[in-house]
A and B are shown apart, each in its own frame.
Chain A
Amino acid sequence: DPLTLHSSAKAEGRSDLIASIKLRHCCLLRNQRCVTAYLYDRLLRIRALRWEYGSVLPANVRFHMCAEEVQWFSQYKKSLASFMRSLGGGEGLDITQDMKPPKSLYIEVRCLKDHGEFEIDDGTVILLKKNSQHFLPRWKCEQLIRQGVLEHVMS
Chain B
Amino acid sequence: MFITDIRKEFYDVVTNQRVALLVAADIDAVCACKILQVLFHCDQVQYTLVPVAGWQDLSTAFLEHKEQFQYFVLLNCGANVDLLEMLQPDDDSVFFICDTHRPVDVVNVYNDSQIKLLIKQDDDLGVPSYDEIFRDDEEDGDSGNESDEGSEPSGKRRRFEEGAVERRIERQRAKREWEGRRREILFDYEQYEYHGTSAAMMLFELAWVLTKDTKDMLWWAVIGLTDQWVHDKITHMKYVTDVATMQRHVSRHNHRNEDEENSLSIDCMRISFEYDLRLTLYQHWSLYESICNSCYTSCHFKLWTLNGQKKLQEFLADMGLPLKQVRQKFHSMDMAIKGNLRDVIEESSNKYGMKDIRVQTFGVHFGFKNRFLASDMVHATAALLESTEKDDSASDNFLKALDSLSRGNLDRLHLGIDLAKKKLMAIQQTVASCICTNLIVSQGPFLYCYLMEGTPDVKLFSKPMALILLCKYLLKAFVHSTRNKRCKLLPLVMAAPKDVEKGSVIVVGIPPESETSDKKNFFGRAFEKAAESTSSRTLHDHFDTSSKIDLSSSNAALQTLRPSLRQTLGGGLLFISSAASVLEALSFCFVISCLNRFFVCCWRM
Residue ranges of A at the interface with B (Cβ–Cβ < 8 Å) = 104-106, 108, 110, 124-127, 129-137, 153-155
Closest Cβ–Cβ distance, residue A104 to chain B (whole Å): 8
Quick one: given A108-B37, A132-B49, are A127 and B64 in contact (CB under 8 Å)?
Answer: yes
**Chain A residues whose CB sits within 8 angstroms of the CB of B82 once the complex forms:** none
Query: Knowing that A129-B50, A132-B48 are A-B contacts, what are 11 other residue pairs whose CB atoms are under 8 Å apart, sorted by A's residue number?
Result: A106-B44, A106-B46, A110-B399, A125-B67, A132-B49, A132-B50, A133-B399, A134-B46, A135-B37, A137-B46, A154-B408
Closest Cβ–Cβ distance, residue A129 to chain B (whole Å): 7
Decide: B51 and A131 in contact? CB cutoff 8 A.
yes
What are 16 A-B pairs at a CB distance below 8 A?
Answer: A110-B399, A124-B18, A125-B68, A129-B64, A131-B393, A133-B48, A133-B399, A134-B47, A134-B49, A135-B37, A135-B46, A135-B48, A136-B46, A137-B46, A154-B408, A155-B37
Decide: A108 and B18 in contact? CB cutoff 8 A.
no
Q: Which of A104, A125, A131, A153 contacts B395 (CB 8 A)?
A: A131
Interchain Cβ contacts within 8 Å, total number? 54
B45 within 8 Å of A (CB atoms): yes
Closest residue on chain A to residue B18 by CB atoms: A124
Decide: B41 and A106 in contact? CB cutoff 8 A.
yes
Contact flags (1/0) for B369-399 with A, using CB distance below 8 Å? 0000000000000000000000001011011
B175 within 8 Å of A (CB atoms): no
**Chain A residues whose CB sits within 8 angstroms of the CB of B65 once the complex forms:** 127
Closest residue on chain A to residue B45 by CB atoms: A135
B406 within 8 Å of A (CB atoms): yes
CA distance A137 to B46 in the complex (A): 8
Closest residue on chain B to residue A127 by CB atoms: B64
Closest Cβ–Cβ distance, residue B479 to chain A (whole Å): 41
Decide: A131 and B396 in contact? CB cutoff 8 A.
yes
Interface core residue of B40, B46, B393 (most chain A CB under 10 Å): B46
Decide: B398 and A127 in contact? CB cutoff 8 A.
no
Quick one: given A133-B48, A135-B45, A135-B46, are A126 and B68 in contact (CB under 8 Å)?
Answer: yes
CA distance A151 to B84 in the complex (A): 34
* 10 shortest interchain CB distances as A-B pairs: A131-B395, A133-B49, A155-B406, A134-B48, A135-B47, A132-B50, A106-B44, A135-B46, A125-B68, A127-B64
**Chain B residues whose CB sits within 8 angstroms of the CB of A105 once the complex forms:** 44
Closest Cβ–Cβ distance, residue B33 to chain A (whole Å): 9
Decide: A127 and B46 in contact? CB cutoff 8 A.
no
**Chain B residues whose CB sits within 8 angstroms of the CB of A127 once the complex forms:** 48, 64-65, 68
Quick one: given A131-B51, A131-B393, A136-B46, are A108 and B41 in contact (CB under 8 Å)?
Answer: yes
B20-53 interface with A by 8 A CB criterion: 37-38, 40-41, 44-51
**Chain B residues whose CB sits within 8 angstroms of the CB of A154 once the complex forms:** 408
Closest residue on chain A to residue B395 by CB atoms: A131
CA distance A123 to B554 in the complex (A): 53
Decide: B41 and A135 in contact? CB cutoff 8 A.
yes
CA distance A126 to B37 in the complex (A): 18
